[in-house]
Structure 1
């Protein structure tokens, strides 16, 4: 009888513990959000609906189409936003960059033509098709700016030459004719290949500049004027900001040549 009571108490305790277990983490978005990523993808980020407690990396996996996980794809480091809701995960750099011991021993993480699925607690949260490696990086001179009119709050839409890192929407900014930063809301869309900026106050006629911070990177770690895939003995170049000048008038925006 005593053993039966003890067993019953254990079952009840287990049931109570299960009823108080934390619900599955709610994922708001995963970036890169495009269907395709480069074979040399360096980082990804996961935004959760609430603050997450405890390590998340052991709960993540990258699966092949056959359901088998890729071996050791992530660097054992969790980079969290101050809010505790956005986690940046680095792919193991030693397997992304060519010529390093980890890549020679374990091979590259992603290969052009692969299909991979990112899972959290065995639940799929993002699927990617893997394309060719990206070694060129962002080129501001190739960006295209939409038209906006003075006295309006039209969004300035900048079509980039390729995706940028999803956490770097604020690495782009607008300077007004007096060199002051224009206040507004910036968003990345279309797989982080489009930057849209809506000013808080209507545009005024004049000369503006779109400024890109020199540390702006794409998902493969390439910066403006710098590449992730460089020889170890190559001196690191200091990041340099880049800018595009444009005019806002009573007629639609025109980019200065």
Structure 2
């Protein structure tokens, strides 16, 4: 009887951002593998290629120790902030590894992911610009939030929560779109008529490292934004209300 062997080499299952177009000042990438890859794959195994297929040297930060999730399946890779953030290392616009209007490719473990580069996003996140699609009472329909920019997927899954008018956190399931612009949350139990709040954690960032009330490129010497959660109120109504 023939025996079937499974390769122990970790395979890439996704990379985030997953959108086809990302800002020139994108700060980080997440590479997820099908099983633990810590000690097998490292940041040094990633290559950034320009639209002519040439390797862009020094694009990623090398800390000497890779940034892995606790389960060893997700590798966080940072673009060198000195080449992304203005005023850190020369002219951030010209030094940035991602140039507006060009395409680039990330190569890792034999797979390639292609992107188009759009203008940098250098403004703070403003929840007032978010569009909420509200569910109806007595349903388990999803609350859907659409953003004005690509959000950091890992933080998006961790930094948004829903609570009721009495401040009780609600149990539910979160999903995000591949574009990084849509977050959906479906409650474990049906919605009740009444007021709710979307809780926005103080660590939420877009793919460029901007936070609520604070752009990554804020003026040198200016005070940091208050590290407090903000809330977005919404009301769930019956069908006929």
TM-score by length of 2: 0.89
Instruction: Select the residue among 117, 121, 129 that pairs with 1:134.
Output: 121
Matched residues, number: 232
Q: Is the 8 A contact 1:148 1:252 kept in 2?
A: no
Instruction: Select the residue among 42, 56, 61 that pairs with 2:47.
Output: 61
Map 1:213-228; keep pairs closer than 5 Å: 213-228=201-216
Aligned to 2:61: 75
Measured on the aligned residues, the alpha-carbon RMSD in Å equals 2.1
The alpha-carbon distance between structure 1 residues 252 and 141, as it changes in their structure 2 partners (threshold 3 A), is farther
Instruction: Select the residue among 36, 57, 62 that pairs with 2:21.
Output: 36
Asked if residue 234 in structure 1 is aligned to residue 222 in structure 2, the reply is yes
Instruction: Select the residue among 173, 179, 190 that pairs with 1:185.
Output: 173
1:177 shift after superposition: 2.2
How far apart are the structure 2 equivalents of 1:210 and 1:28?
A: 31
The alpha-carbon distance between structure 1 residues 191 and 252, as it changes in their structure 2 partners (threshold 3 A), is farther
Q: Is the 8 A contact 1:224 1:240 kept in 2?
A: no
1:39 shift after superposition: 0.7
How far apart are the structure 1 equivalents of 2:230 and 2:116?
A: 31
The alpha-carbon distance between structure 1 residues 145 and 52, as it changes in their structure 2 partners (threshold 3 A), is same
1:87 shift after superposition: 1.1
Q: Is the 8 A contact 1:164 1:217 kept in 2?
A: yes
Larger radius of gyration between Structure 1 and Structure 2: 1
Instruction: Select the residue among 117, 127, 140 that pairs with 1:153.
Output: 140
Q: Is the 8 A contact 1:149 1:252 kept in 2?
A: no
Structure 2: 5+ residue runs without aligned partners?
none
TM-score by length of 1: 0.84
Map 1:74-223; keep pairs closer than 5 Å: 74-77=60-63, 78-101=66-89, 107-124=95-112, 126-168=113-155, 169-223=157-211
Q: Is the 8 A contact 2:125 2:214 kept in 1?
A: no
The secondary structure found in structure 2 opposite 1:28 is strand
Structure 1: 5+ residue runs without aligned partners?
1-19
